Every structure is written in structure tokens, then in C-alpha cells.
Amino acid sequence: MKRDELKTKGLTDEQIDFVMDENGKDINDFRGQLTTATQERDNLQTQVDEVTKNLADAQKNGGNSKELQAQLDKLQDDLKTAQDNGQEALTQTKLGYETELALTKAGAKNVKAAKALLDMDNIKFDKDGKIEGLNEQLEAIKTAEDTSFMFATAEVSPEQPGKPSIVHPGNPAGDGDSGEVDPFAAIVASYQ
């Protein structure tokens, strides 16, 4: 989002500053989540690397003894468990990020509060890597009477889409003839 784009939409500098500040907050939140996910991924990769190294050492020093074979089997199980746990943690982190991004795009005023209303057990990635179950739940909470207030709604003037309608106070007729009798003129006329 760029300032020039907002300026062409008719926003004032004060409105543009507000939009940019709010957008910056969302972006910083997502950057923090991305940093956390990256750190988790790196920690899990370190664990997998360590187990892989131990497995390679055990295979190198193994020989034929049953005790070493048992140790080798245990290390292979540990490696598979570490890989599965790492993949599950990465998937959950990515799912959380994608869900929060969808809530932000849907206009959620408070992403954490709106996310708490979602049943995350029914939101998952399909075989193509697309999110299943999110759009239905998101639409349900956006349109529900008791939760719709959590989402921003853009009110647009029918005359000029994209611009708010502004009504000036005062005489709506604007030509000085509202169709009513001027009370002062009526009093002056009664004395003549």
C-alpha cells in the first residue's frame, strides 16, 4: 500500500497517516510471527541434524552386535519422530499465519479476538496446500449478528463509489427558497 494510491482515492494526509500506521502495525505483527516461525523451524532442524549425526556415528561404529543394532533402531525412531514433530509444528505455524492473514484481509478489527471464534480443528491444508474450512467459518462470523461488529465495514456513497457522501448543514435547498413563508416578512406585510 502506497501513499500515492491512497491520495488518488481522495484521502487526506491525516487519513493516509492513520491508514499507514494501522497497516504498519499489522505488518509488524506478521513479521514477528514470521520470525518466530523461522526460529522454530531452525530449532527443529538443529534437532534433526543432531539425531542424523548420532545415527551416522552409530552406523559407522556399529558392527554386528545386537546392542548397537538396538541403539541404531532407537536413533532411527528418534529421527522419524523429530522429523514428524518438526513438520507438524511448521504446518501449525503456517496455518496460524495464513488464518491471521485471511482475518486481516477480511477486515477484522482485532485479529486475535476473531481468531478465537474459529474452530481451528476444522481448518487445515488440503493436498494442494490450500486452506480448507476457513472461508466458511470466516463468512459465518462476519455475517452473524453477534459477531459482525468485529469486522470493518466500508460504507460507500451510491453517487460516488469509493468516496463518502458529505452533507453540509444549513439550508438544503440552497437557493434561498425553501417553500416556507419567512416569518419576518409576514409580520412586516401585516403592518403595511
Range of the domain at 83: 11-164
Task: Answer yes or no: is 185 within a domain.
Answer: no
Query: How many domains would you assign to the chain?
Result: 1
Q: How many residues would you count in the chain? A: 192
Task: Answer yes or no: is 119 within a domain.
Answer: yes
Task: Answer yes or no: is 70 within a domain.
Answer: yes
pLDDT (tens, 9 = 90+) of the chain, 192 residues, equals 677 887 888 888 888 888 888 877 777 778 878 888 888 888 888 888 888 888 777 777 655 577 777 888 888 898 888 888 888 888 888 888 888 888 888 888 888 888 888 888 888 888 888 888 888 988 888 888 888 888 887 544 445 455 555 555 555 555 555 556 677 776 777 776
Task: Answer yes or no: is 98 within a domain.
Answer: yes
Task: Answer yes or no: is 191 within a domain.
Answer: no
Task: Answer yes or no: is 124 within a domain.
Answer: yes
